[in-house]
Structure 1
Amino acid sequence: MSSAPRIILASGSAIRRDILTGAGVPFEVMKPEVDEGVIKDEGGREGVDLETLAMRLAEAKCLDIAAKTNAIVIGSDQIMEFKGRAYDKPASMDEARARLLETQGAAHTLINAIAVARDGRIIWRNLDRPKLVMRKLSAGEIDAYLKGAGPEILHSVGAYQIEKLGARLFERIEGDHYAVLGLSLFPLLDLLRREGALLF
């Protein structure tokens, strides 16, 4: 009986590691060497939509690692869209505060793209667009949240971590909870079963 293929997560994201670990998926982590700024600049010049851009980033990450191994390689990327604009991770707590002031009381979308490669080629893609509706928040509430959550939120495009204190910022979420966190788990598990990487 042949052994199950190795699984590699092409990401330095702690929450993506936690999602796979929590689901009992055996995997290794390899951080890709991809210049996201170059891909974003190219996409901007070409006028591609944000879904296409997110998928290009996910593909680039998994292909960078897949070129070095015959394992199943998972790449993922997430872009926040608010009023037609794309947002990167905030660079400072002041920028995080400004973002929360801008998005409070309104809805935004998180575009979550996953690309999986095996034997050096893309074998599967998945795109999710969960919608998040934020409560109306005062400046004082936002300041209290930032003080409680701390600079760890700078790792999130929306300046929040929905799995932690950030849950208190929202009225509701429409869509896949795992896609909000950064990795659409259920379709990925289905793919890993089909590829013989998981028994169940």
Structure 2
Amino acid sequence: MNDVPARRYPIVAMALHWLIAIGVIAQWRLAVAGENAASETAGREIMGNHFSLGVIVLLLVLARLAWRLVQPNPPLASDLAAWERWLAKATHTLFYILLIVMPLAGWYAMSKYGNGVDVFGIFALPALPVAADPEGASAIFGLHAAAGIALLLLAGLHILGALKHTLVDRDGNLFRMLPFGRPRA
């Protein structure tokens, strides 16, 4: 029996995966651009887009988690080593934690400045009912930035794993998350 379709992620999971990946890359570039903006006004505008996109990424991650409840992930290949299974599960768990905590921390920090988060003018998250604390907000943004670096390192590890499976193991694992190619059974 051919179990290739059972090893491939459903198209909804693929779309959410790649939209989140694109969002994370865009978030990284927006944060760097905002920090290096030519003026404070330009920096605020860029960071406004960063905050907006952060909410969109959070919604996509929550949609991805909801989808996983309805449609569990296909099983990992049976020939993976125990350390590969553990690393895959740990990496994905850390991704979800960071991708949920980071935007919530950003919203919390903005609330400590007394600001909500406008999401591209479509809707706004109001400021959370927390005490004003600019120093605390700044510290939270520092942790948020450190988590961003951790997220980028984790993404690098994820990419290295995909490359290992594609170029070294040649097991077709990458094609589980693509609508073309052939994942190995």
Band of TM-score, shorter chain = under 0.3
Taking CA–CA contacts closer than 8 Å with sequence separation of 6 or more, which of the two structures ends up with the larger relative contact order? 2
Q: Greater strand share, 1 or 2?
A: 1
Q: Greater helix share, 1 or 2?
A: 2
TM-score (norm 2): 0.25
